[in-house]
Amino acid sequence: MNGPVTVSGGLRGIPAPASSPDLRAQAEGQLHALLLAEGIAPRAVYRPGEVCRLLRISPTTLRQFCELAEHPAVKKSDPRALDSFLVGCHHRIAHAALVEWLVRNQKFQRER
């Protein structure tokens, strides 16, 4: 039977939430799809412009996400915080940091 997926509450076409171990694989797949869609080769480190294209956010928003991760006074990290490092005065974002960001934000949206 190949009908629409039904989850609790009678919602059709909305898949059941993925379990925790599957979130990382799902985030990796999502990032790979975004890289293909934007024509960006998978690498260990990405430039800010590439990350803005991938996440469809502005450079200002990206800077804010990076600053959230850097702020030492923050006790509980914000799910929007994106780990980065500086090369000169330019942020660079690691592939693993993007995957972690996608995993955190998928969980954050489900728990709201």
pLDDT tens sequence across 46-80: 999 999 999 999 999 999 998 888 766 666 677 88
pLDDT at 41: 94
Q: Domain for residue 19, yes or no? A: no
Our count of domains for the chain comes to: 1
d(CA 111, CA 20): 13
C-alpha 21/C-alpha 94 separation (Å) is 21
Sheet of strand 90-94: strand arrangement? 45-46, 90-94, 85-87
pLDDT single digits (tens) 21-36: 688 888 999 999 999 9
User: In this structure, is residue 24 part of a structural domain?
Assistant: no
**78 within a domain of the structure (yes/no):** yes
Domain that holds residue 80: 45-112
